[in-house]
Amino acid sequence: MSDALLTLCSSGKMQPIRDLVAKVAATNTTILLRGESGVGKEVVGRAIHKASPRAAKQFLKVNCAALPSELLESELFGHEKGAFTGAYRQKPGKFEAAHQGTLLLDEIGEMPLRLQAKLLHVLQDGEFSRVGGEKIIDTDVRLIAATNRDLEASMRAHQFREDLYYRLNVIEIRIPPLRERRDEIPVLADHFLKKFNAQYGRSVEIPGETLRAFLDYEWPGNIRELENAVKRVVVLGSARPVHVEIVANLARGGRSTPRPGTAALEVRPSSDTPISLKDIARQAAREAERVAIKEVLDRVHWNRAKAARLLQISYKALLYKIVQCGLVVQDTEKDDKPKEVMAS
Ligand SMILES: Nc1ncnc2c1ncn2[C@@H]1O[C@H](COP(=O)(O)OP(=O)(O)O)[C@@H](O)[C@H]1O
Ligand SMILES: [Mg+2]
């Protein structure tokens, strides 16, 4: 059983999910994982793979929201040499690479309709051909789909195929948000603390008062947000900045994503939570910085050299601030992109 799954076991709310994982792992059924971003859909997907007879083969993930339609098609099904501009050589897709393994299609709700049709065909017939190719390729892949979208609404809006919906939704696993399973927070925080202390060679601790603030907080970014918070505690060598931010968030009603530009004005101590004026000022300054840095990074598609120039700080200073502000590079999808296409 994977490390993450052990942590996953700790909450009563997760018990039925753990049971379901054990039950469905041995079968070949398609699984639909649902839940807010950061709740652990991918972790559950991996756990299913690990507990399945396919464990020795590949587990691969494709984020359907990360690529435009043509690239996504090539990513999934591969392409033949010359299939499109930039296709300098033949490239197998993830369906081929995951043969006899498991393929997780993340953010399935974002898949373009044309590809939904192709995916349905693959699921029904177990075969496909590469982009620009004729050859029929057989595939034996266990499919797991994940989404934080209201697929039923997408279906009513004709953005998601009904037949594909029913084909995918054989077994549905709904993962509750972290705020509905707060008893997991201490266990998870401890898990991440150990992990990052080991990773950075530190021995930072989380004070009891910070842990209590963690327990009260809403965690709209779920486990991913908690993980980043603990990472910042370890990197900064102190829980103070994270604590101040969380307390300030609680003081303004638990909302975690302040409207840009208004953050500083909204930091207000409540009657029963002590927080110094100095801390409020520092927190507001950091919040303003965080919003500005995030905006610039998004604008330049996370080209950090470019962002540093625009923000008129050194590249190194920006990297530090990215960590300090808990802005983590979005996943590793970049590495998955077909190389020759990226070069073109
Ligand atoms: N039960 C868990 N134990 C430890 N880490 C977890 C657990 N669930 C999620 N995580 C971590 O939280 C982050 C978000 O999880 P992920 O599976 O990517 O969420 P989602 O796919 O729902 O957005 C990841 O870094 C993951 O490792
Ligand atoms: Mg995810």
pLDDT by residue (tens digit) across 36-81? 999 999 999 999 999 999 999 999 999 999 999 999 999 999 999 9
Q: Distance between CA atoms of 212 and 84, rounded to whole angstroms?
A: 56
pLDDT score of 1: 44
pLDDT by residue (tens digit) across 116-146? 999 999 999 999 999 999 899 999 999 999 9
Q: Are residues 168 and 188 in the same domain?
A: no
8 Å CB contact between 74 and 42 = no
How many angstroms separate the alpha carbon of residue 67 from the centre of ligand 1? 22
The more confidently predicted of residues 323 and 111 is 111
Which of 176, 203, 234 represents a domain boundary (last residue)? 176
Q: Are residues 192 and 299 in the same domain?
A: yes
pLDDT by residue (tens digit) across 195-239? 999 999 999 999 999 999 999 999 999 999 999 999 999 999 999
User: What dihedral angle (degrees, nearest 10) is formed by the CA atoms of 184, 190, 192, 194?
Assistant: -160
Q: Are residues 172 and 183 in the same domain?
A: no
Does residue 76 lie within any of the structural domains? Answer: yes
pLDDT score of 149: 94
pLDDT score of 117: 96
Q: State the total domains in the chain.
A: 2
How many angstroms separate the alpha carbon of residue 267 from the centre of ligand 2? 31
Nearest CA to ligand 1 atom 1: 8
pLDDT score of 63: 96
pLDDT by residue (tens digit) across 241-296? 999 999 988 887 754 444 343 333 334 444 455 566 776 777 777 777 888 888 88
How many angstroms separate the alpha carbon of residue 162 from the centre of ligand 2? 23
Q: Distance between CA atoms of 213 and 204, rounded to whole angstroms?
A: 17
Question: Measuring CA to CA, which residue among 135, 132, 116 is closest to residue 124?
Answer: 116
Does residue 282 lie within any of the structural domains? Answer: yes
pLDDT at 32 over 90: yes
Q: Is the CB of 39 under 6 A from ligand 1?
A: yes
Q: Are residues 94 and 206 in the same domain?
A: no
Does residue 329 lie within any of the structural domains? Answer: no
8 Å CB contact between 87 and 132 = yes
Taking every pair of Cα atoms in the chain, the longest distance, rounded to a whole number of angstroms, is 70
Q: Are residues 35 and 65 in the same domain?
A: yes
User: What dihedral angle (degrees, nearest 10) is formed by the CA atoms of 304, 310, 313, 317?
Assistant: -20
Beta strand pairing call for 31-34 and 142-147:
parallel
Nearest CA to ligand 1 atom 9: 40
Q: Are residues 123 and 189 in the same domain?
A: no
Does residue 293 lie within any of the structural domains? Answer: yes
Which ligand is the nearest neighbour of the Cα of 42?
Answer: 1
Q: Is the CB of 9 under 6 A from ligand 1?
A: no
8 Å CB contact between 154 and 160 = yes
For the residues of 14-57, what is the DSSP string, one character each? GHHHHHHHHHHHTS---EEEE-STTSSHHHHHHHHHHTSTTTTS
Q: Are residues 268 and 295 in the same domain?
A: yes
Residue 51 Cα to chain centre, angstroms: 21
Q: Distance between CA atoms of 163 and 7, rounded to whole angstroms?
A: 36
Q: Is the CB of 223 under 6 A from ligand 1?
A: yes
pLDDT score of 182: 93
The more confidently predicted of residues 227 and 1 is 227
CB atoms within 10 A of CB 22: 13
Residue 269 belongs to what domain range? 179-324
E-only strand ranges, 151-256: 171-174
Lookup: tokens for 36: 């807010």
Q: Are residues 273 and 234 in the same domain?
A: yes
pLDDT at 86 over 90: no
Does residue 332 lie within any of the structural domains? Answer: no
Q: Is the CB of 248 under 6 A from ligand 1?
A: no
8 Å CB contact between 87 and 80 = yes
Which of 176, 205, 221 represents a domain boundary (last residue)? 176
Does residue 330 lie within any of the structural domains? Answer: no
Q: Are residues 186 and 151 in the same domain?
A: no
Which of 151, 176, 201 represents a domain boundary (last residue)? 176
Q: Are residues 183 and 130 in the same domain?
A: no
pLDDT score of 100: 97
Lookup: tokens for 95: 């369906």
Q: Is the CB of 7 under 6 A from ligand 1?
A: yes
Q: Is the CB of 221 under 6 A from ligand 1?
A: no
Q: Distance between CA atoms of 257 and 298, rounded to whole angstroms?
A: 16
pLDDT at 330 over 90: no
Q: Distance between CA atoms of 250 and 63, rounded to whole angstroms?
A: 33
Q: Are residues 86 and 132 in the same domain?
A: yes
How many angstroms separate the alpha carbon of residue 222 from the centre of ligand 2? 11
CB atoms within 10 A of CB 150: 13
pLDDT at 338 over 80: no
Does residue 341 lie within any of the structural domains? Answer: no
Q: Are residues 245 and 300 in the same domain?
A: yes
